[in-house]
Amino acid sequence: MNYVKNIDELTAIRNDLKRQNKKVVFTNGVFDILHAGHVDYISKAKEKGDVLIVGVNSDSSVKRIKGELRPIVPQHERAFIISSLKPVDYVVIFDEDTPNEIINKLIPDVLVKGADWSLEKIVGREIVEANGGKVETIEFVNDRSTTNIIKTVLERFKK
């Protein structure tokens, strides 16, 4: 079964989930080189509701945000990997720099970001809260990042 959906498919699914009184959680990220921090974060996001939808930045949006050398892993592979994680119900790839458009269409019950984001700066907060939803942050438990993994690999190859 393919859990990677486009926004129109997800909007229909979201409407059905709303009729079933399912609590929908949304989070997003680049998820370039999957690591334990990503898996921990996604697992904790799922605990906030019944259904977890993960937005994955497209390759072009990653290039704009992270620079020309990123992503390392192409968007369809990143989406497939994320969709294969047990806590994840659906994945959507988005081309914008932020998931604002998706959040406005889905209006999740819970919007989740890492605790490195202040609540005031979380994109989509206003629409979620205006519709009775909650915005929550999750603390990172380890010091892992794709950027640090890339640095480690490069340093080891220099030796």
- pLDDT tens for 101-125 read 999 999 999 999 988 888 899 999 9
Give me the mean pLDDT over the 14-42 stretch.
95
The identity of residue 79, as a single letter, is A
pLDDT score of 64: 97
Number of domains in the chain: 1
* CB contact burial 10-23 (16+ within 10 A = b; e otherwise): bbebbeebeeeeee
Residue 142 lies in a domain: yes
CB 94 within 8 A of CB 54: no
Q: Which is more confident, 141 or 32?
A: 32
Please give the Cα distance from 3 to 125 (Å, whole number): 25
Q: Which are the contacts of 85, defined by CB distance < 8 A and separation ≥ 6?
A: 39, 42
From the list 22, 32, 27, 20, the residue with the least C-alpha distance to 44 is 27
Greater confidence (93 vs 152) lies with 93
Tokens 């994680």 locate to 85
Question: Residue 143: what pLDDT?
Answer: 67
Considering the domain boundaries, does residue 71 fall inside one? yes
- Comparing 2-6, 15-19, 71-75, 101-105, the range with the smallest average pLDDT is 2-6
Lowest mean pLDDT among 9-13, 36-40, 41-45: 36-40
- How do the residues of the chain divide into helix, strand and coil, expressed in percent and rounded to 5? 45, 20, 40
The answer to the question of residue 96 being in a domain is yes
pTM of the model: 0.92
pLDDT for the residue 29: 95
More confident residue, 52 or 35: 52
Would residue 109 count as lying in a domain? yes
- CATH number for the domain harbouring residue 104: 3.40.50.620
Q: What's the whole-number mean pLDDT along residues 11-18?
A: 97
Query: Is residue 112 situated within a structural domain?
Result: yes
* Within-domain flag for 1: no
pLDDT attached to residue 155: 85
DSSP, res 27: E
Supply the pLDDT for residue 15: 96
% pLDDT > 90, the chain: 78
Specify if 2 maps to a domain. Answer: no
Residue 50 lies in a domain: yes
The domain containing residue 50 runs over which residues?
Answer: 7-158
Q: Distance between CA atoms of 114 and 44, rounded to whole angstroms?
A: 10
